Amino acid sequence: MTRAVVAYIPVLHEGYRRFLERHPHPVFLIEPREYRPLQKDVRALAPALVAAALRAWGREVVEDAARLDGATLILPDEDISHLVVERDFPRHAVLYDSVFLRWDKTRTVKLLEPAPRATTDELAAAAEFEAAKSLDWWRRVGAAIRFADGTIEASHNQHHPHETSPYSEGDPRSNFFQGVHLELSTAEHAEAHLIARAARAGRATEGATVYVTDFPCPPCAKLLAGAGIAKLIFRTGYAVLDGQQVLESAGVEIVQVGGASAA
């Protein structure tokens, strides 16, 4: 073989699935053995169970390290990978993939540069900052509104009756394909929360500008149109069903920006 994946895989989760999808090569499983931090990993499955699961996914699992001779090895860029390469594969060509799978020692003590906001515009920055607060691992969305008096409020998508509902009780959206039955969700979208909060506070939304990190879904597009929003700025996303037509027919100006000033 010319290439092979070498990795410590204690459980099969989305991070590993994506890593393996990027590297469709035979897999050699690392056992932690004397690597003390991972000997305490109570989540870890027996390597034989992981190997059986990988084979069920259609992946070839290599059990004899001698079969890796001459192959270029691809490993997650984490402590145990470097230890294993140094100990067992010092003569191999090695490629590391900087995928995040766990807080290993290197990541724990690494000094990180603070991530700058995507834009210096106050409205866009408020929405982008708010998006990072969402606990929705699959779709972190932020929105901000600039009222006629120039004040800004922001919100993010959140679930009810509590933020962790989709994780503790299951996410209803997982039963449907993207764009199907959008109304069947435990989530309150960022735009809807903004409009509801403004209504509760008695604040007029007529003529306001809204920035969203993702293009509004059809129900949110109708809310924004009905609220009299004059301008919608979005960074990314797609229009589903009649969302764009509803906004345009209501006279809403639609502008897409790519991290530039939202004006």
pLDDT value at residue 225: 95
pLDDT value at residue 227: 95
pLDDT value at residue 89: 93
pLDDT value at residue 261: 41
pLDDT value at residue 220: 93
DSSP classification of residue 152: E
Look up the pTM and report it.
0.55
DSSP classification of residue 115: P
238, amino acid identity: Y
pLDDT value at residue 112: 56
Q: Is the Cβ–Cβ distance between 170 and 140 less than 8 Å? A: no
| 29 closest CA partner among 68, 71, 86, 87 | 68
Q: Which residues lie below 8 Å from residue 212, measured CB to CB, with a gap of 6+? A: 127, 141, 142, 143, 190, 191, 232, 233, 234, 235, 237
**Residues in the chain with pLDDT values less than 50:** 115-120, 259-263
pLDDT mean across residues, the chain:
85
